[in-house]
Amino acid sequence: MRETAVGPRVLLKRLRELMQEPLEPQERLDRIVRDIASNMVAEVCSLYVLRADSVLELYATEGLNPKAVHLAQLRLGQGLVGTIAASARSLNLSNAQEHPAFAYLPETGEEIYSSFLGVPVLRAGRTLGVLVVQNKTMRTYRDDEVEALETTAMVIAEMIATGDLARLTRPGLELDLKRPASFGGVSFNDGIGLGHVVLHEPRIVVTNLFNEDSEDEVRRLAAALGSLRLSIDDMLERRDVAFEGEHREVLEAYRMFANDRGWVRRLEEAIRNGLTAEAAVEKVQSDMRARMMHMTDPYLRERMSDFDDLANRLLRQLMGRGPDDVAASLPKDAIIVARSMGAAELLDYPRDKLRGLVLEDGAATSHVVIVARAMGIPVAGQVKGAVSMAENGDAIIVDGEEGTAHLRPQPDLEAAYAEKVRFRARRQELYRELRNKPSVSADGVPVDLLMNAGLMVDLPQLAESGASGIGLFRTELQFMVASTFPRAEAQEELYRDVLDAARGKPVTFRTIDIGGDKVLPYFKNTAQEENPALGWRAIRLTLDRPGLLRTQIRALLKAAGGRELKVMLPMVTELGEIVQAREIIDREVRHLSRFAHLLPTSLKLGAMLEVPSLLFQLDELMKAVDFVSVGSNDLFQFIMAVDRGNTQVSDRFDPLSIPFLRVLKQIADASRRNHTPVTLCGELAGKPISAMALLGLGFRSISMSPASIGPVKAMLCELPIAELEAFFEDNLPAPANGIPMRALLQAFADDRSIPL
């Protein structure tokens, strides 16, 4: 590569010296623009910095009227400088005044300059300002000059990002880097969290920008790229089931990018211009991100994120860094901001420091969200753009109720949220007071309010919420957060810990409910399923793989030695499945007693009612089991034919509508007729209005997430159940014309001051 007198290397060398001198920020900027102008033989060099109010302010100039510094301003998109900032692209013009976007700023006296080269000051793809050189003569700047100016802009971006220029901003104004930003998304778990950003994939801060020897750096880059490619090949060749499907596609994309010659060439070029390999990766990445930021094609944007991940991996290779020790450096009010993450990764963070989670991707039923819910932290999902706008340590609010996130919030917004948190805390206080009150309706009917759980992290909530037991323990969660099948001992240990923590309160363990949307990365279903919700899942799968069920049953029996054991089967479709499962259980009981193991004092077997076929054999079902638990999430999905995970349709129909309410009534009636206890453990149980409806339909036991116990109990204490039963007697067979049941129920509650 040619090295000229104005070559980037010479300029970068000067900059390095300037950065090391103990100078005031303004003076440093003045010297930088002066040096750039002289190195590039330009009459003008100016730096504009983007403020939070979307105005580009002149921060330093060599050549223009010095009095214009901090006075000359352009809006984002206005003039050449505003155009560069808005598009994040350089402009190289031999006759600037001919450009349609040219805007003349009288205070600068720039009318006499013809040629113009402006580059965006970028960091992590965000525009922080614009750096410009100008000449009187008409000329086109060479590629190496453009490259030199872009590289210099990167150094300035670091100065802005580290807060060096903050002292130069006028009171009341702020730089764009500190601009408040609000993001809309989807509510994944209720709650409000105020805290500070912790980027799950921390942006690696490259501190060493300038290289001593380009060839050395190119070699270092080649070595790091070599190991990166090897590690990707290795993952792909492992044929590990963990890397099937989407995972594999991402890896294939990584491999393609890692071998992309254009990328490698641009990296080498940046190094030859004087940057370290790390700084080169950052520069090329930042340029690409800025360009792709404006793309709307979701596929390409997704690929860009893959590319980001890859660049981050390459940086780690170059800096020889493993994942940071997060626990040690975590603020005490951490809000994790991630593109996406695995459930186990979330569990790596210490619970006592977590205040919330913001995900750019994810679905409400994704594993990480299930775990976050179990941990009781607010989650906003599908919050696009949060990762690139956030810096570690920024103040942030996550609103899990609305599904929004507010980055660097203004004081009034923060105050409003602090008030909201206080309000919620007061409400929690009321719920806590209810905790030890008997769980009885206003007219004296006792009701069991149970909680759903699935991991050890849930268990402290049993005492805190005042739940009378665990109505649904989702055993598959242990399988979902593990990287291989949990061994029999690990299963037994968890079940024993759960029973110990429950201190005699009843616990209902559901046998593993995998398949459908609950996939285990290490357990492959060889058949491609078009309708996984209707496919090989839950009891169907475990009856086909009896080894799995046997191991689990044995672990449960051993863990519950000397105590009561309640087990239920998910997704039962026909009674024969219960018979088969019972045979397996009986065999395990015989096996354990042969070896003189302590057995449970009683063993109750139940079935989940989630598949409509059971509705047509309710009496037989009630006789075939010791208890029934309605999985209303699945039952509703199958009754209404709406995919519960598809946000386009999942809220389309109301569970509190006549057909579903009638279904629920039939179940409650059959339970009474047959003296078989019934519980309902889907999401319906957790919302006060639907919980109220369930009680009116005859349910006396419902199981919900622990956070719902307080609000549901508050409703229960004010509810005259007999009146609601009478209401249903009147309205369910002959609904009031045209008025939705939900509205009627709301009116019922309002008339009686029942808190919903």
What gap in Å lies between CA 244 and CA 167, rounded to an integer? 52
687 part of the interface to ligand PEP, by CB under 6 A? no
Name the residue among 427, 428, 406 with its Cα closest to residue 417.
Answer: 406
Interaction pattern, residues 455-484, with ligand PEP; x per rule: CB under 6 A: -----------------x-x----------
| Distance in Å, CB of 632 to ligand PEP, minimum | 5
> Is 202 or 506 the residue whose CB approaches ligand PEP more closely?
506
> Is 382 or 637 the residue whose CB approaches Mg ion more closely?
637
| Distance in Å, CB of 568 to ligand PEP, minimum | 10
Token pair 């700084």 is at which residue?
Answer: 279
How many Cα atoms within 13 Å fall on the side-chain side of residue 33? 25
> Is 110 or 634 the residue whose CB approaches ligand PEP more closely?
634
> Is 151 or 632 the residue whose CB approaches ligand PEP more closely?
632
| Distance in Å, CB of 570 to Mg ion, minimum | 6
719 part of the interface to ligand PEP, by CB under 6 A? no
> Is 406 or 474 the residue whose CB approaches Mg ion more closely?
474
Interaction pattern, residues 566-605, with Mg ion; x per rule: CB under 5 A: ----------------------------------------
Q: Strand 126-135 to strand 115-123: parallel, antiparallel, or no bridges (unpaired)?
A: antiparallel
What is the total count of residues that contact ligand PEP (CB under 6 A)? 10
| Distance in Å, CB of 244 to Mg ion, minimum | 24
Stretch that binds ligand PEP, among 112-120, 322-330, 393-401, 626-634 (CB under 6 A): 626-634
SS3 192: strand
Secondary structure (DSSP) of 448-475:
EEEEEE-SGGGTHHHHHHT-SSEEEEET
Of 35, 391, 577, 634, the one binding ligand PEP (CB under 6 A) is 634
> Is 200 or 474 the residue whose CB approaches ligand PEP more closely?
474
610 part of the interface to ligand PEP, by CB under 6 A? yes
Tally of CB atoms within 10 A around 615: 15
| Binding partner selected for residue 474 from Mg ion, ligand PEP, none, CB under the kind-specific 5 to 8 Å limit | ligand PEP
Sheet with 395-399, strands from edge to edge, namely 181-184, 404-407, 395-399, 192-199, 334-338, 354-359, 379-381, 186-189
| Binding partner selected for residue 399 from Mg ion, ligand PEP, none, CB under the kind-specific 5 to 8 Å limit | none
> Is 125 or 570 the residue whose CB approaches Mg ion more closely?
570
631 part of the interface to Mg ion, by CB under 5 A? yes
Alpha-carbon Rg for the chain in angstroms: 32
74 beta partners? 56
Tokens standing for 694?
Answer: 């369930």
Task: Return the amino acid letter for 78.
Answer: Q
> Is 224 or 684 the residue whose CB approaches ligand PEP more closely?
684
Tokens standing for 688?
Answer: 């006060």
Name the residue among 201, 248, 457, 481 with its Cα closest to residue 367.
Answer: 481
454 part of the interface to Mg ion, by CB under 5 A? no
| Binding partner selected for residue 632 from ligand PEP, Mg ion, none, CB under the kind-specific 5 to 8 Å limit | ligand PEP
Stretch that binds ligand PEP, among 159-167, 191-199, 236-244, 629-637 (CB under 6 A): 629-637
> Is 341 or 572 the residue whose CB approaches ligand PEP more closely?
572
Tokens standing for 625?
Answer: 């089991």
Q: Where are the beta strands (DSSP E) in 124-165?
A: 126-135
Residue 387, H or E segment? helix 386-389
Residue pair 370/170 in contact (Cβ under 8 Å)? The answer is no
| Distance in Å, CB of 633 to ligand PEP, minimum | 3
681 part of the interface to ligand PEP, by CB under 6 A? yes
| Distance in Å, CB of 583 to Mg ion, minimum | 24
Name the residue among 340, 301, 186, 297 with its Cα closest to residue 648.
Answer: 186
Tell me the helix, strand and coil percentages in the chain, rounded to 5: 50, 15, 35
What gap in Å lies between CA 110 and CA 93, rounded to an integer? 15
> Is 176 or 577 the residue whose CB approaches ligand PEP more closely?
577
* Span 489-548, contacts to ligand PEP by CB under 6 A: 513
Residues of this chain that interact with ligand PEP (CB under 6 A) are: 472, 474, 513, 610, 631-634, 681-682
Residues of this chain that interact with Mg ion (CB under 5 A) are: 610, 631, 634
